[in-house]
Structure 1
Amino acid sequence: MHHDRTEAQRAAPQPTDSVAFDIVDPDERFRALTDCTPVMMWICGVNGRATWFNRAWLEFTGAPLEEQLGDRWTELIHTDDRGRTLTEYESSFHARRRFSLECRLRRHDGEYAWVLVSGAPLYATSGSFAGYTGSCVDVTERRRSELALQSSQQQLRAMFNQAAVGMAIVDLRGRFEEVNQRLAETLGYAAEELAKLSIEEVTHPDHRQLTRDNMRRLLSGEMTSYQQEKRYLRRDGSDVLCLKTVSLLLDERGKPQRFIAVVEDISDRRLAERRMRENEHRLRLALRASGSGVFDWDLEVGKIIWSPELEELYGLEEGDFEGDIDGWRRRVVPEDAERVTKQIEDDMAAGLDECSYEFRAVLPDGRRRWLAGEAAFYYDDAGKPLRMIGVNLDVDERKRFAEALRESEERFRMLADNMAQFAWVADAQGWIFWYNQRWYDYTGTTLEEMQGWGWRDVHHPDYIEGVVERLQYSWDTGEPWEDTFPLRGKDGEYRWFLSRALPIRDASGRILRWFGTNTDITDQRQAEEALKEADRRKDEFLAMLAHELRNPLAPIRSGLDLMALEGQGAGDLVSLMQGQVGHLVRLVDDLLDVSRIMRGKIELRREPVELGALMRSTAEAVRPLLETREHELVVATPDDDVWLDADPVRIAQVIENLLNNAAKYTPNGGRIELVAEADESRATVAVRDNGVGIDRELLPNVFELFTQASRSLDRSQGGLGIGLTVVERLVHLHGGRISVHSDGVGRGSVFTVRLPRAEAPAPASPGTVEEKRVRPLRILVVDDNASAAYMLRRLLAKLGDHRIETAADGPAALEAAAEQRPELVFLDIGLPGMDGYEVARRLRAAPGTRSAWIVALTGYGQADDRRKSAEAGFDHHLVKPADIEDLERLLADLA
């Protein structure tokens, strides 16, 4: 650095270098050098006791020199660090070796700061050990930067794991490096299983080539990211349609590193416009302790002396520095050299005592290193600068940490502001201090309005109390939070959100802050409500359909039963029509059964059931159907009794449906087998036929609702395709399994039911059974369907010498009951005007009919209908068309 001299100075003889140094006393030079550096320096004697500290040390500690000499300086070391620090110091001292460590040192204000302590042994010119000298550098800011970077990485990790869409990091070969839980759930894998696969292995074959082409275009630089709708293969073999966004991550030199993929399941929302991109970089920075070196620049002669430590910072061997300003310039980035030179000149021109600056040094191998300079100026009496003495500190790691932190925060903000969800961050006590841009766009608010607990202003007043209570519980306990509630938008409308928050903890488990998200689920809730409404309407329709079907069936069945009892018409013709009516009744029952079973609203009435007896009785019940088709039925039951804990009606329904199914799809004259076997734990029932068989493509779907095998018109047996669905559900409710096998079309089929066995029941006590004889009864039939009432009256008259009256509505029924005082009332529920429930309540309130048996005979037969009839006072609930056996049983019970 050049400065003009006066004319007298140029004319005066110039001293040599050695003379120039002699002008300043060596002790004075040492004092000036050590006092101008911000690095704390110390010296100890051969006995290890401190003999000297420089000004930087004394200013840092705030204590006089005499209070720190000897061993008293050790009291400044933090108690948690004192033991290991003194141990290292003493072992290094006795071994006569250098040492370096970090510890906390108390400052003049009572606070502790982290310092890097370095020491080296001193030797006299004779070679004898003379003590130790060392330095201390404040590294508190570096450690804070490390903690800030760690916190930023934790936030990115929490966002990755908590994201409401699937995410993955993929290497350049297309293999997963890391996947989040949502992607694993979308594809049906455990996260650790999915991480072992590649993109291609979980991509549908139709989309694999397009995926390869897009990845190649990313690597070639044709594009930086792409978005694609594609199908993925789930673990169970099914496929799922997703919207995939893939980006290529580059390193600092622009070289491809890996892919990051965001996968959103759009199976139910194929045209969804919500997209999210996420970019995440894992920062891997190597940390090392800061070095330092001192320099002495004689401004008058232009010579610069560097200490060996400073030369090492510049990557030089000791003695390689040329010793002038040009040598320094050659080793600094040009624009930095110009900037620092101008700053020094301006500071000296202003008469400043000290200056500080930062610049980039260029190492011999081309690498650059950030250094910080701290220096003091010395002037003559006229104010002319004579000397600049200072220190350069290695701040490369701190600068890199700061830059990495800035980039990390920038990526975090970019990701958070562009994600589909709202995102927010709160401190450990729940004070929210940051929201992403999505929150502000939706609510139309500002951070000043929303920070802290201000978010309550956009919550629905009907829900806010519960939200605050549950959220405060999580703040207090540290448990993750999840809740669903509406939030008001800037348009004044409310939308529903699924909200979550997770705690971010440090290494010791202490909560540093909370990270939360709000996901709009309004469309999902509306779809669910619409589905519930459709399900309710379906139930209402089925109930009404059953009622309307059963009403005309009632007089038909009663008429056929009456014809059979009276011997009218051809017996085989009546029997045939009774069978067809029974078939219609089964269709209606199956339709309602499958509805109840699919909604889990069917209750089993379990009791001990002997399988062989149940099989034989069921086979006899369906034998007439099989005989009409000239089928051969073979029944083989176990030799010993096999007991089940089951609902006998439902198990009989399973066997009957399987036999009916076999008869339906077996040509006339076929063979059907009903075979049972048992081992120690299970009973197996198989129904085999040699009928039309089942196509291999249909075989996996045979138990699905409304599925039927193909059949031609000449062997059509009707049906709704729900019988096997009912069978499969009933077997499952009993804790069993059902399977089907067929060798193909025309080769028959076999249905196999496996049920758990039960212990045999205790033998029943012997008793006598008394045969009941039906006595004449006073009976009232109430039905607005005149045909049904007429046929039921005729049928009841045939079953006994009863006195029977009829009524077509509620008031007429009450009037007839008051006159007749009936013992048995068959009462329809769906009456015009006053319904059957109200009629029953009034009959129970009237003295003359209070003890009468009231039987509901109605087309409404669902569980809710039976509950209402019981509450209204009915004794029994029969569903139209009533079976003659049920009527006979009722009459016998009243005998």
Structure 2
Amino acid sequence: MTAAINYIHTRTLVENSRSVAESQELMVQLEGLLSNITDAETGQRGFLLTLDESYLDPYESSASLVHSDLRKLEELLHENETPLGRLPDLNRAVQAKLDELRETIDLAKDGDREAALVIVQSDVGKRLMDEIRTILGSMQETEAEDVRKRLLETEQSFQSAVASAVLSTLVGVALLGFVFYLALRNIRQEQAATAEMTAQRELYLTTLASIGDAVISTNAEGDVVFLNTVAESLTGWTTADASGRPLTEVFRIINETTRATVENPALRAIREGVIVGLANHTLLITRDGQEVAIDDSAAPIRDDAGEVIGSVLVFRDISSHKFSVRRLEASEARMRSMLNSALDGIISIDHRGNVIEFNKSAEKMFGYTRDEVLGNEMANFIVPPSLRGRHRDGLERYLKTGVGPVLDQRLELTAVRRDGEEFPVEISITRIETVGPPLFTGYVRDITQTKFAEQQRQESERRFRMLVEQIQDYAIFMMDPEGRATSWNVGVRRLLGYEEDEFIGLRVFKAAFTPEDLETGIDEAELRQAATEGRGGDDRWKLRKDGSRFWASGITTALHDEDGNLLGFMKVMRDQTDRKRLEDELRKIAADLSEADRRKTEFLATLGHELRNPLAPIRTGLEVMKLARDEPETIEEVRLTMERQTHQMMRLIDDLLDVSRITRGKLELRRSMVLVGDVVGSAVEAARPFVNDAQHELTVELPEEPIEMYGDPHRLAQVFSNLLNNAAKYTPVGGHIWLTVRRLDDDVVISVRDNGLGIPAEMQESIFEMFTQIDRPHEFGHTGLGIGLTLVKRLIALHGGTIEVKSDGPDHGSEFTVRLPVMTESAATSVLLEDPPSGNPPLKVLVVDDNEAAASMLSMVVSMLGNEVRIAHDGSQAVQVASQFRPEVILMDLGMPNMNGFEAAREIRKQEWGKTMVLAALTGWGQDEDRRRSREAGFDHHFVKPAEPAELQRLFAAVSRN
């Protein structure tokens, strides 16, 4: 009987040992399946980003292994009904994931990478991976539960076998020894499985602890099982204290408005078996009774059979966010109800800048008492030394001109405290309307904490989105306390270029940080920050193995044991180079658009001002003429005034119409052989009233020999009168203006020089652009419309000439030099064409510019000149379009992304079909070095933006003739 019992127990031990081994093999197979799917996705991502087909090798290899893994799982599960029931769902999800990967690869191979990236950026792939991980996790949990049951049965069988062995014979003793051997082997296997499960659990807990949000898990009854560190911090409960307690006791939530108890989302997730979305206006009551504004969500946890066995609750503190929103709303309400919004500190000054009021909040903010600052200059106390000169100049300018751009505005400036600390403030300055000299009041608020909180909030949200939405794109690895790598994932290969055997043991920060960061010790500072504060982050340039740089964002998290000893670090890193470049480009585009809008606004305001100036005396003159019917002298004086003002208005309108005609290619030149001296005389006569009004001395130097040229005398006189008027406008009263004419080879050179305000160096490139004007004191009179020099440049271009400006800077005067060709009438007739040549067949023209608006406008002009047009927006696209379109002329910008104009020209010239094309560089770069580079790259012509219609006409005519 005893032997039979021992046999039964022995058989149980053997079967349990076999089952435990099979479970371990199954769990290893499940891990291998997930790893192969992840590697397949990594190969797909690499191919889509680079179109390098070498990335398809790991994809194809991993995809084939996935199918063999599924067959192996089916063999291992043929007698295990519970996990076997999940196998169809797993097969479906895995096949759907492989189909999604293959679809995107096929699209990219067919040339439609944009469509493939749209699929990648959607949540389809992520949702499938989440479903696969959920199924695999459920199957692993089922096997782990089976292992625990086998361990319990083994222990019971072993105890029964020992008890029966005492009464058995020597044969039983021998059998017991065999049973003991089997049990001991089984226990060791169980201990190994338990150790592996413990390690996985530790990794799981470490991951949860590293998540920025709070996490609480429960069982099916709604009792607390686990809290991560963030949840412990927010609720005030530790996992030890909360374990086993009802979730409603640990996680107490109420409605922010009604104060009514809110249904717990985790309990609803258990009850209904669905994911419960974010709740609004929810307050968490902490263990010590404090209230914290949160948003939360919950999801059910299911076993292999699909039964709900618990829930997981995720929430975060949004108090700072809600506080910022509410304060912004309150600030906007105050702005609507009051013209001037009072802030924390109130400071009033007189017209000399001396303090006449300094309230308590200002005392606290700046560290001075009211008695210390009253009667003293404010700038010496609260304005940083580097800004005091600008403050005093601005006050002096306002007292002289009444122009105060900082008045009635909310500004962010820098202030200084008594101890010398500089800090950001928000300030609103208003003028106090009083009899006598003006007084000013400033409302000041210290925004140090606000700016810091906003920066922290934005950084936190950015990292959270990055971690949750793009986890598959991260390089994640572990380091020991010295910063040496102890683990590796495929993201390390993609981001840093290291294989696993190269990476393990490498001091990663020393290898990946740039030399300039290593020199300042940023790598060591990040590890120290993570060790002392729990985490450290950085957004900066990093180095790959091959020395190339990429913009990386990452988080370093410290790992500690139960006693608080530092075990090492976990680093999460992602390549954000494309986003960094895109942000830089967007900032540049936004600045360009803002500048264009500012110029348009200034032009419209100036236009209204300039048109009203002559209207006012005309309107007044009409009234005077009504009242002075019998006073001929008065009427004649009024008539002359009205005539001058009418001519001024006509000149403004004519300039506007001329610019419009030139822009649309409608301006016609009436050319004839003219003497340059006659043109200059007409210009001087037209500008003489402006020169005399400003009491300027005008010196005109003409050569002894008359110079004859072919041109429109009216338009040429308009050019030089505009230049003289411009010089008079920007030269102080009593200044000097020189107009000089000389012959230089086949050209006539006319220069207009003055000793006036001069032109800043940064504006000398843009001075000929539409609506561009130089700031000048208002006492100089009207400012004009900012179109005169634009009109001058375009009229000169229509005559085949050029204009240049030279100035040594403010208060050093300026000189405009015009260079025009001297031609006979017959030569001019054959070269200078007013209209597109008739009878020429239309040309095929390719316009290339990364600025879509500029490319569109230029293509319209080219098309209106009777040509067939195509457009490309970068160099590589230009090569592709040219190979198909085969244009006779290519107008191409030089500075473009992907492939610039120089590279594109060289690539086109390499092709047989591109050797005879006419390439014209159309760019904002017009220096001699730029022209040399374009010529070396294969360009036939070099035009400086904006493209003049006359230049394009001559180019197309020459190509048609050839």
Q: TM-score range by the shorter chain?
A: under 0.3
Q: Which has the larger radius of gyration?
A: 1
TM-score by length of 2: 0.24
Larger relative contact order (C-alpha < 8 A, sep ≥ 6)? 1
TM-score by length of 1: 0.26
The structure carrying a bigger strand percent of its residues is 1
